[in-house]
Amino acid sequence: MRKLLPLLVLFVFAAACTPMKTIKTSSLVFLTPAGATIAIARPSAEVVPAVEQLFGDRGFAVYDRKDVSTTDKVLFFKGNRDRINRRGRPDQYGNTPTGYDAYGNPTYGPQYNSNPYNANQPTNPNQPYGSTTATGQPPTTGATTNTGASPTATTQPRSGTADSAQMREQNYVSRDVGSWFSVRATTENNRTVLKFYGKPTVFNAEGCGQGDSDLRDTGYSCRELTVRADWPGHQLVEGREETQVISTIIAVLGERWPLQ
């Protein structure tokens, strides 16, 4: 016991000395406030529901609303990244999507049905497994389907062991990381001005970011989000994913209504 005591003390000391890092990133790292602000010549009663739908289709639900004034309201969204994390990865049958529609659903090339292994799979490859709703048709928001580059040939499925190992490597930590967003909708004359802001979350908690000061009138408060410096998920909380979501939603809105 006397021999083990020094080792135990050393282990506790080493654990206590592990360097920590505070996450303060946000979409403002890659997107300026001007780039995250758009104006649409439509009333907020029409624009806001469309924004909620676009975020909801990506897995980010409204969890709070603040009416700052009769012409100014802020919506808060939060959720995981299941939709955006799986982009570019083969599905469970080894088929690699050739593109994604405006909602993040995968689309496949014409040779999908040429693979004999797909004979017993859904005839519409754009219908997610386990879903009863086909997603192969163009989105109703007015956005066009992005079919991406030249179709990539489908492949035969690999062994379950290899697939499991690859998925564990790809999804390690990523399932613990999500995204948080705020959208301010301000009515100005006959138009609606939208200002987007996003931050990463870890275990559903968001830290403080560079744009939090703009939300003081909503009563929003944040706290420092600190993780170990050797945590393998730091590359997932740099603000890139939030910027991607915001930019995509702005593009879809721009296809539906002319931006000013």
Residues 106 and 103: their CA atoms lie apart, in Å, by: 9
Report the chain's terminal Cα–Cα distance, integer Å.
Answer: 74
Q: What is the predicted pLDDT for the residue at 68?
A: 96
If you average pLDDT over every residue of the chain, what do you get? 74
The candidate with the shortest Cα–Cα distance to 260, out of 211, 188, 196, is: 188
Q: What is the pTM of this model?
A: 0.65
Categorize the per-residue pLDDT at 8 as very low, low, confident or very high, splitting at 50, 70 and 90: very low
Ordered structural domains, the chain, with CATH: 18-82+174-256 (3.30.310.80), 100-156 (no CATH)
**Burial class of residue 37, CB neighbours in 10 A (0-12, 13-18, 19+):** middle
pLDDT tens column, 42-77: 999 999 999 999 999 999 999 999 999 999 999 999
pLDDT tens column, 173-194: 777 899 999 999 999 988 999 9
Q: What is the predicted pLDDT for the residue at 87?
A: 53
Residues 95 and 78: their CA atoms lie apart, in Å, by: 30
Residues 229 and 234: their CA atoms lie apart, in Å, by: 8
Categorize the per-residue pLDDT at 19 as very low, low, confident or very high, splitting at 50, 70 and 90: very high
Residues 177 and 107: their CA atoms lie apart, in Å, by: 25
Categorize the per-residue pLDDT at 144 as very low, low, confident or very high, splitting at 50, 70 and 90: very low
Q: What is the predicted pLDDT for the residue at 116?
A: 42
Burial 65-100 (b: 16+ CB within 10 A, else e): ebeeeeebbbbbbbbbbebbbbeeebbebebbbbbb
Range from 5-9, 151-155, 204-208, 212-216 carrying the lowest mean pLDDT: 151-155
Q: Which two tokens stand for residue 258?
A: 């002319």
Categorize the per-residue pLDDT at 98 as very low, low, confident or very high, splitting at 50, 70 and 90: low
CB atoms within 10 A of CB 200: 25
Residues 184 and 218: their CA atoms lie apart, in Å, by: 10
Q: What is the predicted pLDDT for the residue at 255?
A: 94
Residues 78 and 73: their CA atoms lie apart, in Å, by: 17
pLDDT tens column, 205-215: 999 998 999 99
Q: What is the predicted pLDDT for the residue at 97?
A: 61
Q: What is the predicted pLDDT for the residue at 96?
A: 65
How much of the chain exceeds pLDDT 70, in percent?
A: 60
Reduced to 3 states, what is the DSSP secondary structure of residue 155?
A: coil
